[in-house]
Amino acid sequence: MKMQSALLAVLCAVAGVVQAADSYPQRPIRMIVAYPPGGGTDQVGRVMAEQLSQTLGQQVVVDNRGGATGNIGTELAARAVPDGHTLLMGNVAPNAVNVSLFKKLPFDPVKDFSPVSLVAITPNILVAHPSVPVKSIGDLISLAKAKPGALNFPSAGVGSSSHLAGELLKSLAGIDMVHVPFKGGGPAMVATISGEVQIMFATMPAAMPHVKSGKVRPVAVTTAKRSQAMPDLPTVAEAGVKGYDAATWYGLLAPAGTPKPIVDRLHADVVKILAGPARQRLEAQGFEPDGGTPAAFAAYIKSEIAKWAKVIKDAGIPAE
């Protein structure tokens, strides 16, 4: 009798999940962006929210919850009811880097989320002030080895992608450069343009206007593959730094426990969206759309956590 009751409970639970997935979504969906409006995560989030509103038949509303390097909004998403009506436009920082930067993170980037899809990647681009005699990665490495500590590179803050991209190059190339943290990518770019610092690992959308105007010189892209936006620019790895790969990425996640049929539905919609006009919109802003499977995104997050943990440890960056 107990066995029959237990089996009945399981069957009811399964039926409930299937029914919930079939009727999903039942009301407007909140997409949390753990950063203020205007940044890369917000840009990608708003494009996807607009498109998902059409494919899902319910309004998807962006909810900006910035603060604590993305931790505040990410924790809010992790604690939400796992019914598909709260989503997170994740980012490499809170979803892969911060676990190694904070002594006590208020969420687990692996256990607390159901990955839906890697939506887009933004290559960082290494740029130099025109007065600096660096036109290639080889030039930079030679200069850094000839004058250890003479080259300064800014970042949007400790632990940001612009910081860690520089630390990864220092580690793999065996060179010494000085990190100068700023309060955001905008001030860091201003310092590079003015010549206050010599080089910068900037996001592609932030760097492209200044590259085109000649205010900074492009040296290389930091991803494993060349950028679609600047296909003639070599990668750092191509220039001889084997294994170098640093990018800012954005992905759609749901709270852990979200029914698989809902996750699969959302992934199918992401794939459909990234095959349409939204792809061109993202590419025009310097993003490279992806659309990989939930399993592939889950594996990618784990690999990113491991990679950046090593970089942070090797660089001696203290946990906050």
Query: What is the C-alpha separation between 170 and 205, in angstroms, rounded?
Result: 24
Report, as an integer, the average pLDDT of 165-192: 90
Taking the alpha carbons at both ends of the chain, their separation in whole angstroms is: 54
Q: Which two tokens stand for residue 108?
A: 């687990």
**DSSP, res 68:** G
Q: Which residues pair with 152 in a beta bridge?
A: 178
Q: Which two tokens stand for residue 93?
A: 């920082």
User: What superfamily does domain 2-121+249-315 belong to in CATH?
Assistant: Bordetella uptake gene, domain 1 (3.40.190.150)
| Per-domain boundaries in the chain | 2-121+249-315, 123-221
* 215: amino acid identity, one letter: K
Question: 230 or 219: which carries more pLDDT confidence?
Answer: 219
Q: Which residues contact 57 (CB under 8 A, 6 or more apart)?
A: 25
**Res. 4 pLDDT band, cuts 50 70 90:** low
pLDDT tens digit sequence for 92-105: 999 999 999 999 99
Q: Which residues contact 21 (CB under 8 A, 6 or more apart)?
A: 259, 261, 262, 265
Question: Can you list the alpha helix ranges (DSSP code H) found in the chain?
Answer: 2-22, 40-56, 71-78, 92, 98-101, 137-146, 161-173, 185-194, 204-213, 260-274, 277-284, 294-315
Proportion of the chain above pLDDT 70, given as a percent: 93
Confidence check: pLDDT of 152 > 70: yes
Cis omega (within 30 of 0) on the bond before 115? no
Question: Can you list the alpha helix ranges (DSSP code H) found in 111-183?
Answer: 137-146, 161-173
Position of tokens 């802003």? 285
pLDDT tens digit sequence for 255-291: 999 999 999 999 999 999 999 999 999 998 888 999 9
Confidence check: pLDDT of 211 > 90: yes
Q: Do domains 2-121+249-315 and 123-221 have the same CATH topology?
A: yes
Confidence check: pLDDT of 111 > 70: yes
Please answer whether residues 235 and 221 qualify as being in contact, where contact means their C-beta atoms are separated by less than 8 angstroms: yes
Report, as an integer, the average pLDDT of 48-57: 98
pLDDT tens digit sequence for 288-309: 999 999 999 999 999 999 999 9
* Kind of pairing between the strands at 86-91 and 113-128: unpaired
Pick the CATH number of 123-221 from 3.90.1150.10, 3.50.50.60, 3.40.190.10, 3.20.20.140: 3.40.190.10
Query: What is the C-alpha separation between 171 and 164, in angstroms, rounded?
Result: 10
Angle of helix 277-284 relative to helix 260-274, nearest 10 degrees?
A: 70
Q: Which residues pair with 297 in a beta bridge?
A: none
